[in-house]
Structure 1
Amino acid sequence: MPRRLVALLCALLLCMPVVPSALADERRHRPRPVVFVHGFSGSGGQFETQARRLTSNGYPARYIEAHEYDSTFGAQTVQEVYASLDERIARLLAETRADRVDLLGHSLGTGLMQAYLRSSPARAATVAHYVNLDGATSPDLPGGVPTLAVWGEGSTGRRVGGAENVYFSDQAHTQVVTSPETFERFYRFFNGRAPRTTSIVPERFVSLSGRAVLFPSNVGAAGARLEIYQVHPRTGERLGHRPRATYELTGDGAWGPFRAHGRAHYEFAIVWSETSVHHLYFQPFLRTDRLVRLLTSRPGEGLSGLVETGDGHSALTINRQKEWWGDQGREGDSLYINGRQVLNAANAPRTERTIGIFAYDAGSDGVTDLSAPLPEFFATPFITGMDVHIPAGRRPTSIVSRPRGGDGRVDALAVPGLPSSGHRISVQLNDHPN
């Protein structure tokens, strides 16, 4: 080759921009938007942990959404659910310039999504991958879309024909949605490679946003006011008299974004009136979170309307997106309220698949009786109720969990001892080990 030509080629190479390997890798593996569809009585909150794992692996938070609906179908029809999903997917594709979305369904949501993908070739063409989480079986791929089916405890005869079928027989129905093992499998399915981490990588400052919704319809909690306070981690008491942010809730109950510290503790107070406030407490969020769901109800309505209230005791609702097992001995869970273990074989058997606990002083007699669950709550799927006297007053209420499989880890929150006559208290504990 002539020297002049060699020199020209070298000059051209030197002038070319150098692309860092990480940036080049990101360009080769640009993620698609992800849409999660919940099951009966569910919400986008079931996908909150997985969303933070996705962003810990480079997904933009705005690429991850949940498609919520009234799972009792009292507020909308199936066809309306499908039409709004069409709109969501079209908007995400326009905003991200992606070719298709990746779709996940859980439980009741799997039957809905299988029917959605089969309803028209045009709909199936907008979905690159589908994940069927512990729900409906199928003889073939829904709409011909590549499918990963993840199954929890139960028969290993369940399957989706033509799909990759994975069985986690030691995981419960909701745990299958939130577990790191499930994350690793669907991340690899979406991207063709393993995630860098299955942990939630903490950020110093985070952006929080979400919806305040009526349980279980997912209708927006319109007409209330949301106040956000930073609170002391050991007492739950507010740090300051003024809220860090205030939102008037309208329409679908959307709020945010709120700039927060990743490791701080916050109270979300839904003010229905000056005499009826719903206080919701979470463990630190660690990362930006756009799927924060504040599950509430109008005063006197829903399951909360069945709670007996009074000036001398508090009432708690304790949630975790991983079932509470009270009948599995050392292989189960422990949950302590003011130092007393409240889970047992009667109120939280493995078969109940409990993720929500209502605890209050039934009869307002100052006596705790854990011999049997409160039947009106226990009859509701994924819910239990227990008679626990929780004194109201100046001393905070302590909630401590030792989750199964946690290698001795403790999850703990403290909340003020507010009287149930004017205050409802909800606590959400982590389903993940961070």
Structure 2
Amino acid sequence: MMLHRRLLLVLAASGLVLAGCATTPTTGEHPPIVFVHGNGDSASLWQSSVWRFESNGWPRERLHAIDLPYPLARDEDGKAQPGRSSTAEHTAYLKSEVDKVLQATGASRVVLVANSRGGYAVRNYIQNGGGSARVSHAILGGTPNHGVWAIKGFREANEFSGNGPFLTGLNAPKNAAGDEVTGPVKWLTLRSDNNDKFAQPDGLWIGAKGTPTNVSFEGPALKGATNLVLPRVDHRETSFSPAAFEATYRFITGKNPQTLTIQPNSPLVLNGKITGLGLRPTDPASGNYSNNLPLPGAQLAVYATDAATGARLGNAVHNKTVGADGLWGPFTAQTGTPYEFVISAPGYATTHIYRSPFPRSSSLIHLRADRPADADKSAKSSITLTRPRGYFDAMRDKMSFDGKALPGVPPAGAGVSSSKINLSQDGVRPIAAEFNGEKITGRTWPAADNHLVVLELTY
């Protein structure tokens, strides 16, 4: 009982309750693909994946990434919880989006590509929501198909429990061979060999080091599917890495992609949503939760910046007060130019987001207004380096933040996707980060004037 209580407290505090070859598709050479993000995430994580499909000739209008309004799972799946979604709500939203894509494209089936929790909705839709007649291929990256934990009596009402009712229902044998997947859909799972924080036999990443989770590295694999191992990738890279794209493309089409490199295009037009954060209604002091709802009335200014110093190169090149849809564009960007996106909205800090140059057009450049954490309010400047499409691995990646090792990143394992520096010195100066060749330079805006700085990696 003490172990169960300790795990519950740690998970609640940290937000870790998810924070072969196929035949050619029957829906044509380029079937519509619907991308499904993971727990607490948004459609924006598929940005580089969409670019890679486009770079291999996939029509942009046949690539659709969904935005679940409330992307965090409930603590107990069957109990309503403000700002969170149940498995039933998740599945119903996916079904609605698939119906829209089929109607818009005239196709009879779609391909579903999902990361992490998104794979649960895909499986539930195909098995229990009529999706088996509307889906040709299902590709699941890093989905914890046998749970993040499988501890008897511990949080079994949560959808991530391997011995809870949701996953035991999905994993029940479908035929005499004991297959866990539903036909006639063709299934592919992609997993790490041992570097996925949510497929670990030890409870380190759920705050219980030394405690068996009863889940193995093979937890994402499914009997009856094609199961591929991508060496050393982390939880998100099971979907968003070049290796994941290559395996996904080959599974859908039966052939290798022509290129793994994102090909530039012109004109370079960017767009996306501005979203915010919700306060937890039951306990506002406990902090914020992620949602993908538009933030109407937010103001955005975009500045071209100097790659070496982060300084603005003149006046804003784009301004907009967003409406009910939250869209901040379209904005025609310059090839090879890094940009600073500045969001201002009531109840939020002025949020400065720095990005490296964009190679292609995208409508998935979502931006989130932020609030300072209580622990950061005494800093002169607070700067966060974030990698939305992967984690930081000190043993694998070449990286630096303000010329040093990344604070908060452990010496081994890939379980952290952001790093924060709180400066104690006054003044505005350049602050740079590098990750495996991608470089971003921002400025240290003063926290005393309610500014926050984010350096956001693309790859």
Q: CA RMSD in A?
A: 2.7
Letter in 2 for 1:160: L
Query: Contact (CA 8 Å) 1:46, 1:177: kept in 2 or not?
Result: no
Task: Decide which of 309, 312, 318 is 2:385's aligned counterpart.
Answer: 318
Residue 118 (structure 2) pairs with residue 109 (structure 1): yes
Q: Partner of 2:329: helix, strand, or coil?
A: strand
Query: Larger C-alpha radius of gyration, 1 or 2?
Result: 1
Q: Please list, as runs of the form range in 1=range in 2, the aligned pairs for 1:164-313 lying within 5 A after superposition.
A: 164-214=226-276, 216-241=290-315, 243-273=316-346, 276-297=349-370, 299=371, 304-309=372-377, 313=380
Residue 445 (structure 2) pairs with residue 418 (structure 1): yes
Match of 1:124 in 2: 132
Query: Contact (CA 8 Å) 1:53, 1:198: kept in 2 or not?
Result: yes
Alpha-carbon distance change, 109 to 143 in structure 1, aligned in 2, over 3 angstroms? farther
Task: Decide which of 180, 191, 203 is 1:140's aligned counterpart.
Answer: 180
Q: Partner of 1:323: helix, strand, or coil?
A: coil
Alpha-carbon distance change, 428 to 112 in structure 1, aligned in 2, over 3 angstroms? same
C-alpha deviation, 1:157, in angstroms: 6.6
Alpha-carbon distance change, 356 to 253 in structure 1, aligned in 2, over 3 angstroms? farther
What is the distance in 1 between the residues matched to 2:406 and 2:190? 32
Aligned length: 357
In the alignment, structure 2 segments of 5+ residues that lack a partner are 1-26, 75-81, 147-170, 172-178, 195-216, 278-289
Report Cα offsets for 1:3-53 as digits up to 9, x if no partner: xxxxxxxxxxxxxxxxxxxxxxxxx95312211111222222321111110
What is the distance in 2 between the residues matched to 1:239 and 1:108? 41
In the alignment, structure 1 segments of 5+ residues that lack a partner are 1-27, 367-390, 404-409
Give TM-score scaled by structure 1 length: 0.75
Match of 1:66 in 2: 65
Residue 416 (structure 2) pairs with residue 354 (structure 1): yes
What is the distance in 2 between the residues matched to 1:182 and 1:274? 39
C-alpha deviation, 1:430, in angstroms: 3.2
Letter in 2 for 1:420: A
Task: Decide which of 381, 404, 421 is 1:340's aligned counterpart.
Answer: 404
Report Cα offsets for 1:383-429 as digits up to 9, x if no partner: xxxxxxxx44243222233x3xxxxxx32221122112221111112
Q: Partner of 1:342: helix, strand, or coil?
A: coil
Report Cα offsets for 1:51-91 as digits up to 9, x if no partner: 11011111222322222222245334443333332332222
What is the distance in 2 between the residues matched to 1:167 and 1:39? 19
What is the distance in 2 between the residues matched to 1:100 and 1:119? 17
C-alpha deviation, 1:189, in angstroms: 1.4
Match of 1:39 in 2: 38
Report Cα offsets for 1:117-168 as digits up to 9, x if no partner: 11133x2222111001111154422454211111113324752122111011
Q: Percent identity?
A: 25
Q: Partner of 1:315: helix, strand, or coil?
A: strand
Q: Partner of 1:289: helix, strand, or coil?
A: coil
